[in-house]
Structure 1
């Protein structure tokens, strides 16, 4: 059994073809997918989608790229996290690549998410791009290690991976690890302890080779596992088992809900 630890199947281009996506997931033995929140206005649609499908679970949070949107408070995040299918806080974090200027608001929003995760006892889903140093600094300042979580769609160095693991975080690899020019990331994937690896699609984005440039969906997470196994010279079943066990260890509310 495979798990897609991070996808956006509530986005219109995927939500419109859910029956086909679920069929492809079943064919590829992808039994579970975590549909990750990016803002609060669209969150009711996300929840409605996951409520209809036992394979799908949800988070609640506001992505750092969404500048002009409703700001989440700790109380609001904690309240929404009581929904039985919400198993994580995020995605949250810092992104200095797409946005520039005074990004104090981004850091303040990140702090709100960490505080909410600590209060409600759910793990964090963290996005970091061109901001690793500040991301780790805020994680340490706010005690993110008490919540635990995952550095999603990881593209940073081995040093950042080690620092994240020191804070009780897992490292999740997306289709980027299959790209020919992703040599540094592939090196990280070979060094990772098996008990800290997660796999994801981040669909509808970042389709893995041989689908690069096409629409991505959770059924394609198996290609991420296959690439990591190839890099490490081990059977893909090892990555399948490890990443699945790690997912349910981290997002343990799913087990409590009887998945």
Structure 2
């Protein structure tokens, strides 16, 4: 049984066939799904989806791209939602220096505020990191994020960065890009990540794995990520699936 630890099934790309997408995920052996709410629009729809399906859970958080739009009332709202029985983490939060849609100093403030909130409510955090490895690590250390831990979503950094994250009580998650033929560094890092700290995801509808690269991603394709990870680790698919699902259950406190 597989777990997709990061997906966006509430995205408009699934408006026409969401139920069919979910059914295909179940047919592919996915037993649990973490759906990510990351701003004022997606948080309510993510929670609604989790309320509709027993096996879907939700995160709540504020994406760094939207950091400039977050108000103090939004932070209070997120804190209130953390008591919902299907909310299992705060995220995705972090830094994004690629799109540059919010000033860096605003991203830093919003990131720190949400780490502090996670520590207050006792939930793990889901980290979005785009071209910001050094600052992510520095803020996680300064805010003592190891107290709650979490997951480095769709990890793209070096083994040195991964080691620093592991030392701070974080899991390392891989998505579709690890299946790409030219994904030398992600494959090398995955090979070194301890099995009790490894997670898999899709980030659907984005980052579609090989051989469907360029098309819409969906949760069922987490099996393709699992197959690549099992090959890299030299393990049977069933063993990889069991281990990564157990890691997800442990991190997110899933039923």
TM-score by structure 1 length? 0.94
Take 2:31 and 2:19, find their aligned partners in 1: how far apart are those partners?
14
1:18 alignment counterpart: 18
The DSSP-based 3-state class of the residue aligned with 1:23 is: helix
CA shift, 1:181, in A, is: 1.2
Take 2:21 and 2:110, find their aligned partners in 1: how far apart are those partners?
33
- Answer with 128-137 or 60-69: which moved more: 60-69
2:80 alignment counterpart: 79
CA RMSD of aligned residues (A): 1.4
Take 2:81 and 2:190, find their aligned partners in 1: how far apart are those partners?
34
Take 1:67 and 1:92, find their aligned partners in 2: how far apart are those partners?
9
The DSSP-based 3-state class of the residue aligned with 1:65 is: helix
Return closer, same or farther for 1:42/1:62 CA change in 2, 3 Å cut-off. Answer: same
2:57 alignment counterpart: 57
TM-score by structure 2 length? 0.95
Take 1:100 and 1:10, find their aligned partners in 2: how far apart are those partners?
22
CA shift, 1:67, in A, is: 4.5
Take 2:173 and 2:34, find their aligned partners in 1: how far apart are those partners?
13
Take 1:86 and 1:183, find their aligned partners in 2: how far apart are those partners?
35
What are the within-5 Å matches in structure 2 for residues 130-169 of structure 1? 130-169=131-170
1:16-69 per-residue CA deviation (whole Å, 9 max, x = no partner) reads 322211211121110111001120233222211221111211011011112552
1:33 alignment counterpart: 33
1:170 alignment counterpart: 171
Take 1:42 and 1:231, find their aligned partners in 2: how far apart are those partners?
34
The DSSP-based 3-state class of the residue aligned with 2:186 is: helix
1:66 alignment counterpart: 66
CA shift, 1:210, in A, is: 1.1
What are the within-5 Å matches in structure 2 for residues 242-257 of structure 1? 242-252=243-253, 254-255=254-255
The DSSP-based 3-state class of the residue aligned with 1:160 is: helix
- Is 1:205 the equivalent of 2:206? yes
- Name the count of aligned residue pairs: 254
Take 2:85 and 2:16, find their aligned partners in 1: how far apart are those partners?
24
Unaligned runs of 5+ in 1: none
Unaligned runs of 5+ in 2: none
Take 2:101 and 2:51, find their aligned partners in 1: how far apart are those partners?
37
Q: Is the 8 A contact 2:64 2:102 kept in 1?
A: no
